[in-house]
């Protein structure tokens, strides 16, 4: 059994745990919150034996195998560093931290201590995303010329909540813009130029962000995130001889359509009964069982590269914290 701890029993932690319950050999072992009552209620809901009213108490469990960190963005670095220094493996929610310097410290600490660390970028492990990347590698659409991806939903304007609260790392870029940026990085790698622009709410967080990335071989990525309206949420990989269309919402897609140059099309489906967090959880457990300290599919260098891209977009668009 792999004994899991949950740090931060919020909305996304509920979804993660519901999926974890479907994973063989995964045991929900502990939950920690800054509010003991909240931790206790979460533990009772999912029959978790240990509930703590402080994060530090997780360090008192010597048989804890790995902790899923699901606190607000601004707490990720602090929470992850505490666990790494305690010798506990970590799956940390995206964005990994607030900036590249924080991520670099996390990565260096994990590597120096030989402790497993991975960013919970669940899209990387979705079967549809994996399949789309495999199609590109197989030459199904020829040389890729562009990637287009958008992610937008209409968020209620609640200044005290995370999305529109600058103190909590709010804004569209870090919350959902990371997904289009991830797709461009997965398919095209690191760009040579980054241009970005944003519009801001009355609370000074970016409510929209548009990005244009160019690459050494002439490719381009057109990406955007939005908290003001529901957008198509599509991922489109355009090649010289075809197109891969990642169905909405692309970051958790259940379908891929391959449009060939000769006019033929083929659709592939990836049905599931879970939210989709089980794929990353299974991968973490496989890594731990094999004695790995980082993922071969989404490495710590990948996380650092993605955060550095986010930093560049922020600088270009005037987004600051």
The Cα–Cα gap between 156 and 97 comes to 24
Distances (CA, A) of 201 to 83, 118, 159, 223: 35, 32, 10, 20
- Residue 271, both tokens: 């049905």
Q: Hey, which residues does 244 pair with through a beta bridge?
A: 237, 258
Please enumerate in sequence order all residues whose Cβ is within 8 A of that of 240, keeping only pairs 6 or more positions apart, or say none. Answer: 141, 142, 143, 145
The DSSP code sequence of 39-53 is HHHHHHHHT-SEEES
Q: How far is CA 280 from the centre of its chain?
A: 10
Distances (CA, A) of 70 to 13, 38, 220: 6, 14, 33
Instruction: Tell me if residue 150 falls in helix, strand or coil.
Output: strand
94 is catalytic: yes
**Residue bearing tokens 């990387």:** 124
* Cβ atoms of 303 and 96 closer than 8 Å: yes
Instruction: Tell me if residue 94 falls in helix, strand or coil.
Output: coil
Edge to edge, the sheet with strand 235-239 lists: 193-200, 206-214, 220-226, 144-152, 235-239, 242-246, 255-260, 265-269
- Residue 256, both tokens: 């891929």
The Cα–Cα gap between 111 and 113 comes to 5
Question: H or E segment at 108?
Answer: helix 100-113
The Cα–Cα gap between 100 and 60 comes to 30
The residue from 75, 94, 148, 166 that is catalytic is 94
Q: Which are the catalytic amino acids?
A: 94
């Amino acid at each position: 059994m792999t004994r899991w701890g949950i740090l931060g029993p919020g909305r996304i932690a509920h979804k993660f745990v519901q999926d974890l319950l479907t994973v063989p050999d995964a045991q929900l072992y502990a939950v920690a919150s800054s509010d003991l009552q909240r931790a206790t209620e979460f533990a009772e809901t999912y029959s978790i034996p240990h509930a703590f009213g402080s994060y530090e108490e997780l360090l008192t469990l010597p048989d804890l195998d790995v902790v899923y960190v699901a606190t607000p963005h601004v707490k990720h670095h602090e929470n992850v560093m505490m666990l790494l220094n305690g010798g506990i493996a970590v799956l940390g929610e995206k964005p990994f931290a607030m900036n590249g310097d924080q991520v670099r410290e996390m990565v260096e600490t994990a590597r120096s201590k030989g402790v497993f660390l991975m960013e919970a970028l669940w899209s990387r492990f979705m079967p549809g995303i994996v399949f789309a990347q495999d199609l590109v590698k197989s030459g199904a659409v020829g040389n890729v010329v562009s990637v287009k991806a958008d992610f937008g939903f209409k968020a209620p304007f609640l200044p005290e909540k995370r999305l529109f609260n600058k103190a909590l790392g709010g804004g569209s870029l870090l919350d959902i813009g990371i997904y289009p940026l991830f797709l461009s990085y997965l398919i095209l790698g690191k760009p040579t130029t980054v241009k970005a622009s944003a519009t801001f709410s009355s609370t000074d967080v970016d409510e929209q962000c548009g990005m244009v990335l160019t690459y050494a071989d002439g490719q381009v990525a057109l990406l955007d995130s939005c908290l003001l309206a529901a957008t198509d949420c599509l991922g489109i990989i355009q090649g010289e001889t075809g197109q891969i269309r990642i169905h909405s919402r692309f970051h958790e897609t259940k379908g891929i359509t391959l449009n060939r140059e000769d006019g033929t099309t083929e659709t592939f489906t990836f049905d599931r009964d879970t939210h989709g967090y089980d794929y990353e959880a299974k991968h973490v457990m496989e890594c731990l069982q094999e004695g790995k300290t980082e993922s071969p599919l989404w490495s710590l260098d990948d996380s650092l590269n993605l955060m550095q891209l986010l930093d560049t977009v922020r600088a270009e668009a005037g987004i600051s914290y």
